[in-house]
Chains A and B, each alone.
Chain A
Amino acid sequence: MLGLNFMFLLPLCLFFVGFGGILFNRRSIIAIIICIELLLLAVNLQLSFSSFIFDDIIGYIFSLFVLSIAAAESAIGLSILVGYYKVRGNISVDSINLIKG
Chain B
Amino acid sequence: MKLEFIWFFFTFFIVLFSFLSVTSGNAVFSVLFLVLSFLSSALFLISLGIDFIGLMLMVVYVGAISVLFLFVVMMLNVHEEFKDFPLFTFLCIFFLLFLTFLNVNFCPLGDFFSYINWFHLDKLDTLNCLGYVLFSDHINNFIEISIVLMIAMVGAISLNFTSEKGMRDQEFLFQSSRSTEIILFIK
**What are the nearest 3 A-B pairs in CB distance?**
A72-B152, A21-B22, A8-B106
A4, A24, A78: which contacts B107 (Cβ < 8 A)? A4
Residues of A in contact, count (CB < 8 Å): 67
From known contacts A4-B112, A52-B50, infer whether A27 and B76 are also in contact, taking CB-CB under 8 Å. no
CA distance A14 to B90 in the complex (A): 14
**Mask: chain B, 81-115; 1 = CB below 8 Å from A; 0 = not:** 11101100110011001100110011101011001
Report whether B19 and A76 are in contact in the complex, using a CB–CB cutoff of 8 Å. Answer: no
Is A96 in contact with chain B by the CB < 8 A criterion? no
CA distance A60 to B107 in the complex (A): 19
A-chain residues with CB within 8 Å of residue B69 when the two chains form the complex: 30, 33-34, 74, 78
Is B4 in contact with chain A by the CB < 8 A criterion? yes
Report whether B94 and A52 are in contact in the complex, using a CB–CB cutoff of 8 Å. Answer: no
From known contacts A9-B102, A30-B78, A79-B159, infer whether A68 and B148 are also in contact, taking CB-CB under 8 Å. yes
A contact residues vs B (CB 8 Å cutoff): 1-10, 12-14, 16-18, 20-21, 23-24, 26-28, 30-31, 33-35, 37-38, 41, 44-45, 48-49, 52-53, 55, 57-58, 60-61, 63-65, 67-76, 78-83, 85-86, 90-92, 94
* Residue among A8, A37, A45 facing the most chain B CB atoms (10 A cut-off): A37
Chain A interface mostly:
helix
A-chain residues with CB within 8 Å of residue B173 when the two chains form the complex: none
Report whether A75 and B31 are in contact in the complex, using a CB–CB cutoff of 8 Å. Answer: no
Report whether A17 and B7 are in contact in the complex, using a CB–CB cutoff of 8 Å. Answer: no
A55 CB, nearest partner CB in chain B, Å? 6
Report whether B57 and A44 are in contact in the complex, using a CB–CB cutoff of 8 Å. Answer: yes
A-chain residues with CB within 8 Å of residue B152 when the two chains form the complex: 71-73, 75-76
A-B contact pairs, 20 of them (CB 8 A): A8-B106, A9-B101, A10-B15, A17-B18, A20-B93, A20-B94, A27-B82, A28-B78, A30-B27, A41-B18, A60-B50, A60-B52, A60-B130, A68-B145, A68-B148, A70-B60, A70-B65, A72-B148, A72-B152, A81-B72
CA distance A38 to B91 in the complex (A): 17
Is B187 in contact with chain A by the CB < 8 A criterion? no
B63 CB, nearest partner CB in chain A, Å? 10
Report whether A71 and B72 are in contact in the complex, using a CB–CB cutoff of 8 Å. Answer: no
Contact residues of B between 1 and 42, Cβ < 8 Å to A? 4, 7-8, 11, 14-15, 18-19, 21-23, 25, 27, 30-31, 34, 37-38, 41
Report whether A76 and B64 are in contact in the complex, using a CB–CB cutoff of 8 Å. Answer: no
B-chain residues with CB within 8 Å of residue A55 when the two chains form the complex: 115, 117
A13 CB, nearest partner CB in chain B, Å? 5
B94 CB, nearest partner CB in chain A, Å? 5
